[in-house]
Amino acid sequence: MIFVVGTGRSATSTVARILDEQLEINMGGKREAGIWPMPRDGLGDTYEDIEFSTVNRKALDGDLDERGMHLELVRLGKERTEPWGTKCPAIAEFLPRYRVVFPTARWVWCQRSPSLVLRSLMRVRPAIPAATHKDMIADRLLALGCELPRGLYRTLEMHFSEPRSEAFIVDRLRLWLEMENP
């Protein structure tokens, strides 16, 4: 299983789309397979599995305790067939829980300059104050930097502060997927 993580607007949807459409990892990228019924920002498919996103949302809202979240994640993992993955920004908030439930998971960490992320967020979500966006970016970067497994086999860091061609992204992901577990 592969989890694509990063702050919002850091190319996570692009990476998830490439994994799904070109590298045959089921990322939940088809509307009938359970992603959000409508793109929330009007920019296309989000490649977020609605069931994982719902569990994360319930936990963030306090409607699901740690044990309940653990049980839901185990259930979702058992229902998926290999190879599969998902992209959900809120995973960053629960990385320790995800790592316990999915100890063999692999992670793609999409990184982009925080100033570029902030500018992009302000463009697509102008009603949300910049300070709120800044706090979210800082919280997610801290969680991801501290909690992701170390080692290239387990975690691929992809930097998107400069434009990357789709061919570059495909090649990098393909090479990483072909790596053997040390």
Architecture of the domain spanning 2-173: 3-Layer(aba) Sandwich (3.40)
What pLDDT is attached to residue 123?
86
Q: Taking the domains of the chain in order of start, what are their residue ranges?
A: 2-173
Inter-axis angle of helices 130-147 and 114-124, nearest 10 = 140
State the DSSP string of 97-144. Answer: HHHHH-TT-EEEEEE--HHHHHHHHHHH-TTS-HHHHHHHHHHHHHHH
Contact 86, 48 (CB under 8 A): yes
For residue range 23-49, what is the model confidence (pLDDT) as tens digits? Answer: 989 886 554 444 444 444 444 556 778
What pLDDT is attached to residue 62?
95
Token couple for 83: 């190879």
Does a cis peptide bond (omega within 30 degrees of 0) precede residue 83?
yes
What pLDDT is attached to residue 45?
57
Ranges in the chain, pLDDT < 50 = 31-43
Of 28, 22, 70, 25, which is closest to residue 45 (Cα–Cα)?
28
What pLDDT is attached to residue 34?
44
Q: Distance between CA atoms of 31 and 104, rounded to whole angstroms?
A: 27
Q: Model-level pTM?
A: 0.83
